[in-house]
């Protein structure tokens, strides 16, 4: 017997409802419900063919604790983001804009794994095997241990995995595959959820590291239900402007490592190339002696990164001045402008404020606040900052400068790149010794920082 049933699913969070709703009760998003037709059969359900072995509960005391064995890829930036390498049996989701380089990165990684005598199965649901071969020839990623398949049926993909017995599997992309037991279209909430659960069971039972490529929406989030990100072990976002040559790989979820690490790549004709010193890349086109430009030392995981902040303050005739920020939190920018108005006496109510993180990097830690305040004040007063100064520190609502973590790593990175002075919180001067050849200026308030930074 086969029964047909109509249900409505939220595209954002996967909330299920028997009728259409304008507002989702789960994520409170508007107009996100889509209608799907489910076919309920009494036959074997999806995903039951993998393992019928019954597991017994084990006391946690009797479980031996050991570190996860990792497969070190030839890409050091990818190893850093993953937490040290690929974990066998892990399920990884990679998202990014179309044409950003997701397939290029995974094809290069597959070739690097084959050089370690590991079998790789690259499954493409969007390209034929000839198209994949053309890209592999361009990237010089051809190996007899790299198997390519163009398929979208989950059951046929599982059969191919049984035949090849790979160590690493790439599914490009999860929105194109479908399970025949689910009658909805590929890319729908039901299909994405069921296929992801199927690949998760394959990865866990067989111990195969599996990567799923996910499409993104116009807002930049991975398409499909939010449940997709909860099911996988690691979520990576591939960021960057298509008109720029560098890319940023950022981990937003990682069960086997830190979520603060980023990997920097440069896109060339031969593929993606690692950038071992991203600070030098981001500061390569920095102008000297220009008002509104400040260098900040930010921490991305365990790596200090020096980035240029650019602020532009211009008068406006409109009653509501504009506040725009690229790569920085818009609400945090409004907070710092309010502190400068109240504590420093700057009249910014009739000024448009624009802030840009040069290089397309996104910074979200509080240590960037002081550099933002210095850049805004420099542009407003039309006074350039010292060209060889690095500024960092958290700004409070009363105008005080609060301490930040990992100060010694930030200072050493600044010294390595030839900077002469560092303006930082005075409370962070304790417990470490500054390296020779660089001047450290400790400040307690924003007023002290402005007097030291502006020429």
Question: pLDDT, tens digit, for every residue of 394-424?
Answer: 999 999 999 999 999 999 999 999 999 999 9
- Asked if residue 327 is part of any domain, the answer here is yes
Is the same domain home to 385 and 348?
Answer: yes
With cut-offs at 50, 70 and 90, classify the pLDDT of residue 243: low
Cross-strand partners of 300: 303
In a domain, 178, yes or no: yes
Confidence of residue 63 (pLDDT cuts 50, 70, 90): confident
- The pLDDT of 287-313, averaged and rounded, is 91
Q: Is residue 18 located within the same domain as residue 85?
A: no
102 annotated ligand binder: yes
Whether residue 346 is found in the same domain as residue 414: yes
**Does 99 count as an annotated binding residue?**
yes
pLDDT score recorded for residue 215: 81
CA–chain centroid gap for 347, Å, is: 37
Residue 47 lies in a domain: no
For residue 35, give its domain range.
2-41
Of the residues 276, 308, 340, which one is the last residue of a structural domain? 276
In the listed set 276, 303, 332, which residue is the last one of a domain according to the structure? 276
Predicted confidence band of residue 225 (pLDDT cuts 50, 70, 90)? low
Overall average pLDDT of the 127-152 stretch = 94
| Within a domain: 157 | yes
Query: Would you say residue 50 lies in a domain?
Result: no
pLDDT in tens, 91-139: 999 998 888 889 999 999 999 999 999 999 999 998 999 999 999 999 9
Q: Using CA atoms, how far apart are residues 156 and 274, in angstroms rounded to an integer?
A: 35
Say if 55 falls within a structural domain.
no
138 and 268 part of one domain:
yes
Give the burial string for 210-242 (b: 16+ CB within 10 Å, else e).
bbbbbbbeeeeebbbbbebbebbbbbbbbbbee
Domain count, the chain: 3
Q: Is 96 flagged in the annotation as binding?
A: yes
On whether both 137 and 238 belong to a single domain, the answer is yes
Coil, strand or helix: which one is 117?
coil
Q: Using a pLDDT cut of 90, give the percent of the chain over it.
A: 57
For the whole model, what pTM was predicted?
Answer: 0.76
pLDDT, position 4: 65
Report helix, strand or coil for 332. Answer: helix
Place of tokens 């398409």: 223
101 labelled ligand-binding: yes
Same-domain check for residues 117 and 261: yes
Mean pLDDT value of segment 239-254: 82
List, for residues 302-322, the tens digit of each pLDDT value: 889 999 999 999 999 888 899
What are the structure tokens assigned to 131, written together?
A: 């198209």
Starting at the edge strand found earlier in the chain, the sheet holding 91-96 runs 146-150, 120-124, 168-172, 209-214, 91-96, 234-239, 246-254, 262-268, 271-274
Are 272 and 373 within one domain?
Answer: no
Q: Is 42 annotated as a binding residue?
A: no
What per-residue confidence (pLDDT) applies to 390? 96
Q: Residue 447's pLDDT is what?
A: 95
Return the residue matching tokens 């402008």.
337
169 and 265 assigned to the same domain: yes
In percent, how much of the chain has pLDDT > 70?
91
The pLDDT value recorded for residue 124 is 94
Asked whether residue 253 is assigned to any structural domain, the reply reads: yes
We report the CATH number of the domain holding residue 215 as 3.40.50.300
Q: Is 100 annotated as a binding residue?
A: yes
Same domain, 389 and 417: yes
Examine the domain organization and report whether 164 and 249 are in the same domain. yes
- Report how far residue 395's alpha carbon sits from residue 323's, in angstroms, rounded to the nearest whole number: 19
Give the number of C-alpha atoms closer than 13 A to the C-alpha of residue 272, restricted to the C-beta side. Answer: 29
Q: Does 434 have pLDDT greater than 80?
A: yes
Structure-model confidence comparison of residues 37 and 237, the more confident one: 237
195 with 248, same domain: the answer is: yes
pLDDT band at 44 (very low <50, low <70, confident <90, very high): very low
DSSP string, 164-228: H--SEEEEE-TTT-B-TT--SPTTSHHHHHHHHHHHHHHHHHHT-EEEEEE-B-TTSSBSS-THH
Residue 311 domain-assigned?
Answer: yes
Indicate the pLDDT class of residue 48, thresholds 50, 70 and 90.
very low
- The answer to whether the annotation marks 364 as part of a ligand binding site is no
Lowest mean pLDDT of 72-76, 209-213, 332-336, 449-453, name the range.
Answer: 72-76
Q: Which of 276, 308, 341 is the last residue of a domain?
A: 276
Mean pLDDT of the chain: 88
Q: How many CB atoms lie within 10 A of CB 140?
A: 10
The confidence band for 74, taking pLDDT boundaries of 50, 70 and 90, is confident
Whether 270 and 137 map to the same domain: the answer is yes
């Amino acid at each position: 017997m086969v029964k047909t049933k109509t249900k409505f699913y939220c595209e954002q969070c996967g909330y299920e409802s028997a009728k259409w709703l304008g507002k989702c009760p789960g994520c409170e998003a508007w107009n996100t419900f889509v209608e799907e037709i489910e076919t309920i059969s009494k036959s074997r359900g999806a995903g039951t063919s993998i393992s019928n072995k019954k597991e017994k509960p084990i006391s946690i005391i009797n479980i031996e604790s050991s570190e996860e064995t990792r497969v070190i890829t030839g890409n050091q930036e990818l190893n850093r983001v993953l937490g040290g390498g690929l974990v066998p049996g892990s399920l990884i989701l990679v998202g990014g804009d179309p044409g950003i380089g997701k397939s290029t990165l995974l094809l290069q990684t597959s070739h690097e794994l084959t050089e370690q005598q590991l079998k790789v199965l690259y499954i493409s649901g969007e390209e034929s095997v000839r198209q994949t071969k053309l890209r592999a020839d361009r990237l010089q990623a051809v190996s007899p241990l790299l198997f390519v398949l163009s398929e979208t049926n989950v059951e046929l993909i599982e059969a191919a995995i049984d035949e090849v017995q790979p160590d690493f599997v790439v599914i490009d992309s999860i929105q194109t595959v479908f399970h025949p037991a689910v009658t909805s279209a590929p890319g729908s909430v039901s299909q994405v959820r069921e296929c992801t659960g199927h690949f998760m069971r394959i990865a866990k039972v067989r111990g195969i590291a599996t990567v799923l490529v996910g499409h993104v929406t116009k807002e930049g989030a991975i398409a499909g239900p939010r449940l997709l990100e909860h099911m996988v072990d690691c979520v990576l976002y591939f960021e960057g402007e298509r008109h720029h040559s560098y890319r940023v790989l950022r981990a937003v979820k990682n069960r086997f490592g830190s979520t603060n690490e980023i990997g920097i790549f440069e896109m060339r004709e031969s593929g993606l190339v690692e950038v071992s010193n991203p600070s030098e890349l981001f500061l390569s086109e920095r102008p000297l002696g220009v008002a509104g430009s400040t260098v900040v030392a930010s921490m991305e995981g365990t790596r200090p990164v020096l980035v240029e902040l650019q602020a532009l303050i211009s008068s406006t005739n409109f009653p509501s001045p504009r506040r725009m920020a690229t790569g920085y939190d818009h609400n945090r920018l409004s907070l710092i402008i309010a502190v400068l108005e109240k504590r420093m006496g700057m009249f910014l109510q009739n000024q448009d404020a624009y802030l840009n993180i040069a290089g397309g990097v996104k910074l979200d830690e509080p240590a960037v606040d002081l550099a933002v305040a210095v850049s805004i004040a420099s542009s407003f007063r039309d006074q350039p900052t010292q060209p060889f100064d690095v500024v960092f520190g958290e700004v409070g609502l009363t105008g005080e400068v609060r301490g930040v973590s990992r100060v010694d790593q930030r200072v050493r990175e600044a010294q390595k790149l030839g900077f002469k002075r560092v303006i930082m919180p005075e409370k962070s001067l304790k417990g470490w010794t500054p390296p020779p050849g660089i001047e450290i200026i400790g400040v307690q308030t924003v007023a002290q920082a402005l007097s030291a930074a502006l020429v």
